[in-house]
Amino acid sequence: MKSEKRANLHFNSKAVYLPPDDASKSISPPIFMSSSFQYDADIYQRVIDGERKDVNIYGRCGNPSEYQFEEQMMMIEGADACLATASGMAAISVTLLGLLKAGDHLVCDWTTYSSTHEMLDHRFTDYNIETTFVDTADPSAVQAALRPNTKVIYFETIANPTMKVSAIPPLVEIAKTSGAILVCDNTFASPYVARPLEWGVDIVLESATKFIGGHSDALGGAICMKSQRLPADFLEQIRWNTMVKLGSPLPPFNAWLLVRGIQTLAVRLQRQCQSSAQLASYFESHPAIGKVWYPGLPSHPQHEVAKAQLPEFGAMLTFEVDDADAALRVLDNLELACFAASLGGVRTTTQIPASMAFLDIPEEQRLAMNIADGMIRVSTGLEDVADLIADFDTALAKI
C-alpha cells in the first residue's frame, strides 16, 4: 500500500498496517542487528556527495529497523518527517539543541517533566540559553514572556504530573506571530489521544518508552514534525548535526519492540482511558482523598479545553492525600497496581512525584507547580477496573 493511501486510513488501521518486508515478504518486520553496513561504489559516491538520507552507513547514523519505526510514527502522528532517538529525553535534548544556540531564549510551561525542567533551568544556562517559565494555559503570560531572541515555545499536551491542559490554538497563533517554533511533548497523551501537529504545532516529541511501546520493556523517543514553518529536511539536519554527534540513536531491537507496540496502541489506550475515567470518579468520591486531577472530570480547571482537544482524556491521573507518609502507606500497600517509576505500560503504575520524579526540584518550585508531598500519580493499565478499585480501596484504608 502506498504512503498516500495509508495516510487516508483511520488511526487504528494506520497503527496496525506494516508494509511487508521486501526481501522475505514477512508481515512482521525483521530486526537489523548490524552496527555497520558494507559500502559499494554507488553508496560511497552518494555519501561523499552528501546524500545520506536512507543510506545505511553506520548504526549510530541510522538503521533499517529504526527507519521502520520512524515511518510508523509519521503515520500515526500525521507527520511529514520523524527522527527516532534512544529515549524521550534524547528526543527533547536533540530537538532543543538543534533549534537553539548561545544567546537564544525559550518560553516553557512551568510544569513539565522534571528532567526537562532541570535541563532548561540548570544545564542550558551553561550554554547561555535562557528559559522563562510561565503557565502556558494563560496565553497572556506566554505573550508577556516573549523577547526578540525567543526561538521556542515549549509545553506538554497533558502536563506531568498535574494533568494541566493548555489550549493549543492561542499558542499556535503566538508562535506564528512571534516567529518562535512551537514544540509539544505529547507523551502523557500519546498519538491515540492527541495529535498536536493537526492543531498547528511545529514539532511533537514522544517518549516512546511509555504508551507507544506500552509494555515497559524498551526505551525510545521520537521527534515528529510538519514542514509548515520549518525546512522539510530539518530533522535530517539535526540527525547529522546533533543526534549523531551526541550519540543517541535508537537501537534496532528497541525499534522493533516499539513498532510492535504501535500496532496495539489504539486498543490498549481505549481500555486504559475508560479505566482512568472510572478510577477518577472513584477517587473523587473517596473521603481520604483531597484533590483529584483528571482532564475528564468537570472539576478539572481546563476541562472545557480538554473536551475540545482530547477525544479521550488519557490514561494518566493524580490524586492527593494528606502528606508524603500517607502517600507512601497507600502505595506500599497496593498489591495489584505497581509502585514504580515510569508509566504507559500494561500494568498500572503509581509513584509519588514530589519524592521520585521531582526529587531534585527545590521544594519551593515543586509547590509552585502544585506538586504537593502527598500527590500520587497513577498510570492506568489493562487490569479489570473493579480489581484496581478494590486494590486502591484496601490501600487507602491503611492511612
- DSSP for 4-38, written as a single string: HHHHTS-HHHHHH--PPPTTT--SSPP----SB--
List the CATH number of the domain containing 173.
3.40.640.10
Strand-pair partners of 85: 221
C-alpha cell at 161: 504530573
Both 248 and 181 in one domain: the answer is yes
Q: Which of 238, 263, 288 is the last residue of a domain?
A: 263
Q: Which of 210, 243, 263 is the last residue of a domain?
A: 263
Whether the bond between 298 and the residue before it is cis, its omega within 30 degrees of 0, is no
What is the per-residue pLDDT for 2?
76
What is the per-residue pLDDT for 57?
84
Residue 135: count other Cβ atoms within 10 Å of its Cβ.
Answer: 17
Both 358 and 345 in one domain: the answer is yes
pLDDT confidence bin for 58, thresholds 50/70/90: confident
pTM: 0.95
Both 132 and 257 in one domain: the answer is yes
Read off the pLDDT of each residue in 119-142 and give the average, rounded to a whole number. Answer: 97
Q: Which of 237, 263, 289 is the last residue of a domain?
A: 263
pLDDT confidence bin for 188, thresholds 50/70/90: very high
**Segment 89-105, tens digit of pLDDT:** 999 999 999 999 999 99
Both 280 and 329 in one domain: the answer is yes
Distance CA 99, CA 111 (A): 21
- Domain coverage including residue 10: 3-263
Read off the pLDDT of each residue in 211-215 and give the average, rounded to a whole number. Answer: 98
**Segment 270-292, tens digit of pLDDT:** 999 999 999 999 999 999 999 99
Both 78 and 139 in one domain: the answer is yes
Distance CA 235, CA 225 (A): 8
pLDDT confidence bin for 323, thresholds 50/70/90: very high
Distance CA 82, CA 86 (A): 13
Both 255 and 272 in one domain: the answer is no
Domain count, the chain: 2
**Segment 221-267, tens digit of pLDDT:** 999 999 889 999 999 999 999 999 999 999 999 999 999 999 999 99
Beta-carbon contacts of 73 under 8 Å, excluding residues fewer than 6 positions away, are 79, 82, 84, 191, 206, 208, 212, 222, 224, 262
Q: How far apart are the first and last CA of the chain?
A: 56
What is the per-residue pLDDT for 21?
82
Both 72 and 115 in one domain: the answer is yes
Does residue 1 have a pLDDT over 80? no
Both 251 and 293 in one domain: the answer is no
pLDDT confidence bin for 181, thresholds 50/70/90: very high
